[in-house]
């Protein structure tokens, strides 16, 4: 028996900034030894549409749902059953089941073993889920499937799952529930020590939500003589001990979700806590003084945004010498309260933008209050373009605390900005998936 693991691509072009997908390393380690595994990551390589496999397992995000359904259709036509998991099928299992045979809802561990047992017995069910919250102690990974794919040069490691916050546009709470789960620090340290890479990206959605546990991890990282980056919320800058540990343990970069400079927007998205005790610029300075290169993430389209918000935000990101910056239109995704609110307010432009053949990457998906949908689309594109001009890159490089701290850092900054500029500009206006028609089971092509 042979199982194929598939990461679908958003577009038809390859991605140069793809990071290692951990989910299939975890599933590979939980697949019985007598089953052969083949792994195709369409961001980096073609997925054969006539592969000789017994079962296809696809991980699906909302932006890749269209492509996932297209690949599934080809395999099901060959008589190969298709299983889907990930955020999108978790929130819309019945939509996914129009295109596949089974969905895994929530964490795949545990459910995966049951699914394989049923598949071997010829009794695949349509829905699988983990009855209990999956604890992370002893989590094993098989990284061999990732070798040679050409991912971004940082090994992806997970410390924990979940977030204590519940920002309106985010579906992390809906996916993982209220509980926070962290792996034992000794497990994480052993995993890092076994890597042949001294740079790690912690893929947790917000690694410092449990400050005490975060400090425990950081203390254990200090002797490892490594560098690492992560995703955080800006409130960590209010904790001097944590900032000190960031510097000592080798943190050189953090993706920070600033989202908006407007406090009314932050209140509306339930993220006002980030500036409650300390304003953004003070927090940024504290992190940068500790050597942390900041990748700032912003969204536009909340009710207090106007066409002036784009210029103000880009100027802020360039002035603060951000390593990288993302400027995205707010995207309502299934599972997030934002999606339900905008639908109730009749402001969605497409009921399901992710399946709409006319939707293009970067397009507004709803009617904002302070501008037109076209102004939202064009404003975000303008902001990305301005942030990635060569003049902006050169200006942002010039910070001896962070981007220009060493020759190695400067080289990394320039290489990352080159790839980022190319990827951002290339994505704009692309359609999702391929030209293939999207046909649910039972319908005619």
Is residue 235 a contact partner of residue 211, using CB atoms and an 8 Å limit? no
Q: How far is the CB of 168 from ligand SF4 (least distance, A)?
A: 9
110-118, 169-177, 184-192, 350-358 -> range binding ligand SF4 (CB under 6 A): 169-177
Residue choice 115, 157, 172, 251 for contact with ligand SF4 (CB under 6 A): 172
Residue choice 16, 165, 382, 418 for contact with ligand SF4 (CB under 6 A): 165
Question: Helix, strand or coil for residue 47?
Answer: coil
Q: Would you count residue 167 as binding ligand SF4 (CB under 6 A)?
A: yes
Q: How far is the CB of 270 from ligand SF4 (least distance, A)?
A: 8
Residues 82-141 that bind ligand SF4 (CB under 6 A): none
340: its two tokens: 């339900």
25-33, 167-175, 320-328, 379-387 -> range binding ligand SF4 (CB under 6 A): 167-175
The closest of 261, 264, 265, 302 to 283, measured between CA atoms, is 261
Q: Would you count residue 331 as binding ligand SF4 (CB under 6 A)?
A: no
The beta-strand segments (E) located in 47-151 are 55-59, 82-85, 102-105, 127-129
Query: What string marks each residue from 232 to 271 as x (binds ligand SF4 by CB under 6 A) or -?
Result: -x-----------------------x--------------
Strands 160-161 and 181-182: antiparallel
Q: Which is nearer to ligand SF4, 206 or 375 (CB)?
A: 206
283: its two tokens: 């927090």
Q: How far is the CB of 305 from ligand SF4 (least distance, A)?
A: 17
Q: How many residues bind ligand SF4 (CB under 6 A)?
A: 11
Q: Which is nearer to ligand SF4, 90 or 233 (CB)?
A: 233
Q: Which is nearer to ligand SF4, 201 or 413 (CB)?
A: 201
Phi, psi of 100 (to 5 degrees): -140, 180
101: left (phi over 0), alpha (psi -120 to 50) or beta: alpha
Q: How far is the CB of 180 from ligand SF4 (least distance, A)?
A: 11
Classify residue 150 by its DSSP letter.
-
7-15, 21-29, 168-176, 424-432 -> range binding ligand SF4 (CB under 6 A): 168-176
Q: Which is nearer to ligand SF4, 174 or 397 (CB)?
A: 174
Q: How far is the CB of 202 from ligand SF4 (least distance, A)?
A: 13
Q: How far is the CB of 398 from ligand SF4 (least distance, A)?
A: 30
Strands 82-85 and 36-41: unpaired
Q: Would you count residue 170 as binding ligand SF4 (CB under 6 A)?
A: yes
Q: Would you count residue 4 as binding ligand SF4 (CB under 6 A)?
A: no
Q: Would you count residue 210 as binding ligand SF4 (CB under 6 A)?
A: no
Q: Which is nearer to ligand SF4, 41 or 235 (CB)?
A: 235
Q: How far is the CB of 205 from ligand SF4 (least distance, A)?
A: 4
35-43, 165-173, 190-198, 240-248 -> range binding ligand SF4 (CB under 6 A): 165-173
Q: How far is the CB of 439 from ligand SF4 (least distance, A)?
A: 34
| C-alpha–C-alpha distance, residues 181 and 163, integer Å | 9
Q: Would you count residue 166 as binding ligand SF4 (CB under 6 A)?
A: yes
Residue choice 163, 214, 254, 342 for contact with ligand SF4 (CB under 6 A): 163
Tokens 């975000």 sit on residue: 380
Q: How far is the CB of 151 from ligand SF4 (least distance, A)?
A: 23
List residues binding ligand SF4 (CB under 6 A): 163, 165-167, 170, 172-173, 205-206, 233, 257
């Amino acid at each position: 028996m042979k199982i194929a693991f598939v990461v679908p691509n958003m577009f038809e072009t390859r991605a140069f900034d793809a990071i290692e997908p951990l989910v299939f390393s975890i599933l590979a380690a939980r697949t019985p030894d007598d089953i052969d595994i083949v792994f195709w990551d369409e961001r980096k390589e073609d997925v054969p549409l006539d592969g000789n496999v017994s079962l296809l397992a696809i991980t699906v995000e909302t932006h890749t749902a269209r492509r996932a359904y297209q690949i599934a259709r080809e395999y099901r036509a060959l008589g190969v059953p298709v299983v889907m998991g990930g955020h999108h099928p978790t929130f819309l299992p019945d939509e996914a089941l129009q295109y596949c045979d089974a969905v895994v809802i929530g964490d795949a561990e545990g459910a995966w073993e049951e699914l394989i047992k049923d598949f071997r017995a010829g009794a695949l069910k349509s829905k699988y889920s983990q009855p209990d919250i999956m604890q992370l102690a002893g989590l094993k990974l098989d990284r061999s499937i990732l070798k040679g794919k050409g991912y971004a040069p940082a090994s992806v490691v997970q410390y924990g799952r979940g977030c204590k916050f519940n920002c309106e546009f985010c579906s992390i709470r809906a996916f993982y529930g209220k509980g926070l789960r962290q792996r034992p620090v000794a497990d994480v340290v052993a995993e890092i020590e076994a890597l042949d890479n001294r740079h790690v990206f912690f893929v947790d959605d917000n690694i410092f939500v449990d400050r005490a546990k975060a400090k425990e991890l950081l203390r254990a990282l200090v002797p490892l003589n490594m560098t690492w980056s992560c995703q955080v919320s800006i409130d960590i800058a209010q904790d001097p001990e944590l900032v000190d540990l960031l510097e000592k343990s080798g943190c050189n970069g953090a993706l920070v979700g600033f989202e908006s400079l407007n406090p009314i927007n932050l209140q509306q998205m339930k993220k006002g806590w980030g500036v409650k005790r300390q304003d953004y610029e003070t927090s940024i300075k504290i992190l940068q003084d500790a050597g942390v290169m900041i990748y700032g993430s912003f969204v536009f389209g909340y009710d207090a945004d106007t066409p002036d918000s784009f210029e103000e935000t880009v100027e802020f990101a360039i002035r603060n010498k951000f390593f990288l910056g993302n400027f995205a239109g707010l995207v309502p995704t299934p599972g997030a309260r934002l999606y339900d609110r905008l639908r109730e307010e009749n402001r969605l432009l497409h009921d399901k933008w992710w399946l709409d053949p006319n939707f293009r990457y970067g397009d507004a998906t709803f009617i904002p209050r302070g501008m037109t949908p076209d102004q939202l689309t064009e404003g975000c594109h303008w902001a990305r373009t301005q942030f990635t001009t060569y003049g902006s890159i050169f200006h942002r490089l010039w910070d001896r605390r962070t981007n220009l701290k060493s020759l190695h850092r400067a080289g990394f900054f320039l290489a990352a900005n080159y790839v980022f500029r190319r990827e951002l500009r290339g994505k704009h206006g692309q359609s999702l998936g391929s030209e293939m028609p999207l046909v649910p089971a039972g319908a005619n092509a």
